[in-house]
Amino acid sequence: MKKKSKLIFIACDTSNLNQVKKIISHTKNDELKIIPKFGLQFFYSKNGRQFLKNIKRDFWLDIKISDIPQTALSAIESLKDLKKCKYITVHASGGLEMLKVVKRKVKKINKNIKILGVTILTSLNNKSLKEIGYTDNVDKIVLKQTNLIVKSGCDGVVCSAKEAKLLRKKYKNLFIVTPGIRLPGDNKNDQSRVVTPHDALVKNKVSGIVIGRSLILGNIKKNIRRLIDNLNQ
């Protein structure tokens, strides 16, 4: 596999600005295409938004917008000064109309931004879904939500690698990104549906992966080498 052809999104899950700078610096690599991903923790931190306004590197803003269409529009409008933002997430659970209006708004602001629809969070399993009122299993819900995401015109979908294999059979060219990625032997922590980078990118044929704790905890450069070794197996 040509590693540069696949996207590696590194989850900068911290509110510590110095730690974020370290992650960005230590994950520059000639063998992999690595893009930092920032979630709510960093975006809401004291210096987070200002840092993202001035950053010189393309990034993914993973804030999973989910609200009534007008409020979602306002949220997108407020992000237009983040010039290096290349990906923004919205929740499929916000519904078809919300997905459509967000996509239309983003095209007007910056046509280079990709809107990724988030399906079922990787921290949830079938038992969790029943507890919050869903009657279908994970696979069925993810498939239904992906149909909505595609219908809305959004640019891609976020789902676990296990459902990605199912989606790839139906959508041959869909941009699929999978979180819940762990290097072999690492702790699953709060993720229920996890796979290795190799299994996600090679076996399940996803477009990109999100990997956080397996890379940013401990020696980042050594962990990058572990990632490369796993992809080379």
pLDDT per position as a tens digit, 96-132: 999 999 999 998 988 899 999 999 887 878 888 889 8
**Average pLDDT of 204-215?**
92
| Spans of all domains in the chain | 3-232
CATH of domain 3-232: 3.20.20.70
Beta carbons of 161 and 195 less than 8 angstroms apart: yes
**Average pLDDT of 49-62?**
96
Nearest 5 degrees, angle CA 5-CA 7-CA 10?
150
Beta carbons of 167 and 176 less than 8 angstroms apart: yes
Residue 212: CB partners within 8 Å, gap ≥ 6?
10, 11, 12, 13
Nearest of 182, 216, 101, 97 to residue 148 by alpha carbon: 97
Give, for 13, the enclosing helix (H) or strand (E). Answer: none
15 to 126, 172, 189: CA distances (angstroms): 31, 37, 19
Among 21, 22, 56, 64, the one annotated catalytic: 64
The residue type at 209: I
**Predicted confidence (pLDDT) at residue 190 exceeds the cutoff of 80:** no
Instruction: For 214, list phi and psi in degrees, rounded to 5.
Output: -60, -25
**Predicted confidence (pLDDT) at residue 51 exceeds the cutoff of 90:** yes
Structure tokens at 15: 């509110």
Residue 206: CB partners within 8 Å, gap ≥ 6?
161, 164, 168, 176, 177, 178, 200
**Average pLDDT of 47-58?**
96
Put simply, whether the predicted model's pTM sits higher than 0.75 gets the answer yes
pLDDT per position as a tens digit, 120-177: 887 878 888 889 888 888 889 999 999 999 999 999 999 988 889 899 999 999 999 9
Q: In angstroms, how far apart are the furthest CA atoms of the chain?
A: 48
Quick check: is 64 catalytic?
Answer: yes
